Amino acid sequence: MKGPNSIRLRLGYEFVYTFPQPVPMILMVTVHYSRASDMIVPDHLTSEPVVNVTTFRDGFGNLCSRFLAPAGRIRIMSSAIVKDNGLPDVVFPYALQCTVQDLPEDVLIFLRGSRYCETDLLSPVAWQLFGHSQRGWPLVQAICDSVHNHITFDYQKARATRTAWEAYNERSGVCRDFAHLAIAFCRCMNIPARYCTGYLGDTGTLPPYGVPDFAAWMEVYLGGVWYIFDPRNNVPRIGRVLIARGRDAADVAIATTFGPNTLESFRIWTEEVEERNSFGSALISGMNG
């Protein structure tokens, strides 16, 4: 049933690659199965020229698409419509921190260091900054506040190899760098945290808007529940649509190519649309970027 705040979002992507030879590819661009019941128009992957796509789920349950890209130019795209409750991210300031010995076994992996989240290097910094903070939700919020104020968002300085330790020292980056540093700090303070990527438009926000792109945030385990935190924006947001979860960005790479290639262009869009009118056309009521 549609709630009073329910909205519809049109979302999708378009990638254009050029390959000098046939190259295997794995894409992780399908909306997460947890939103399956919200899909009004499914986000089927299509391509020009057509390729044979097979799918599988990785160790975190994310859906991956696998195919052999032919030599030459290929256009890969998808467009979908998803319903959303239109509510901002949940805020529960009284959520408690679980003791490590009481954590479920499948959560423990999100306490460990990973490719982009060097808990060994950042642990002394974390305890110096947050050792006296109130445990639970207030501690996670203190971490998000610190990261949000410490890093300057700069799309021109995006770097795929930047780690949490480097982001802390360089003090610049994009949403993935905010997420990696906050995740590392949480893990250092014995709070499980996992990396998320997906769509996040500008619904409910004021201009100026940024360049449309996939977004990164984190989920933190408190009181037996995974809660969303977004150190980049550091405010509850509306219309967040998950694609994949993992330990860090290495687990949820949007595109993995196994050979030489050139990415000519890419477009991402997330726009709010109204119900269809009597003539059957969808009315756009807002868009990002």
Q: What is the DSSP string of 207-266?
A: SSP-----EEEEEEEETTEEEEE-TTT-S--S-EEEEEEESSGGGG-SEEESS--EEEEE
Q: Is 277 exposed, middle or buried (0-12, 13-18, 19+ CB in 10 A)?
A: exposed
Report pLDDT for 16: 98
pLDDT at 279 exceeding the cut of 60: no
- CATH numbers and ranges of domains, the chain: 7-85+253-274 (2.60.40.2250), 100-249 (3.10.620.30)
pLDDT reported for residue 277: 44
- What is the average per-residue pLDDT within 246-257? 97
Residue 236 is predicted with a pLDDT of 97
Q: Predicted confidence band at 111 (pLDDT cuts at 50, 70, 90)?
A: very high
Nearest to 184 by CA among 108, 117, 116: 117
Query: 236 or 206, which is more confident?
Result: 236
Percent over 70 (pLDDT), the chain: 93
Q: Looking at 1-5, 9-13, 87-91, 221-225, which range is the least confident one?
A: 1-5
Q: pLDDT value at position 4? A: 60
Per the prediction, the chain carries an average pLDDT of 93
Give the tokens for residue 4: 């009073």
Band of pLDDT at residue 5, cut at 50, 70 and 90? confident
> Residue 54 forms beta bridges with which residues?
66
pTM: 0.92
Is 52 within 8 Å of 67 (Cβ atoms)? yes
SS3 state of residue 106: helix
Question: Tokens standing for 75?
Answer: 């256009």
Range scoring the smallest mean pLDDT among 46-55, 121-130, 139-148, 202-211: 202-211
Confidence of residue 281 (pLDDT cuts 50, 70, 90): very low
The answer to whether the CB of 271 falls within 8 A of the CB of 288 is: yes
pLDDT at 288: 35
- Residue 151 predicted with pLDDT over 70: yes
Residues whose CB is less than 8 angstroms from the CB of residue 6 and which lie 6 or more positions away in sequence, other chains included? 83, 84, 85, 86
139 has pLDDT over 90: yes
* Percent of the chain residues past pLDDT 90, beyond the cut: 88
Is residue 275's pLDDT more than 70? no
- Name the strand (E) or helix (H) holding 38: none
Q: What is the pLDDT of residue 46?
A: 97
Asked whether the predicted pLDDT for residue 283 surpasses 50, the reply is no
Q: Residue for token digits 């959303």?
A: 84
Q: From CA 50, how far away is CA 28, in angstroms rounded?
A: 18
What's at 245, amino acid-wise?
R
Q: Evaluate whether 244 touches 62 at the Cβ level (below 8 Å).
A: yes
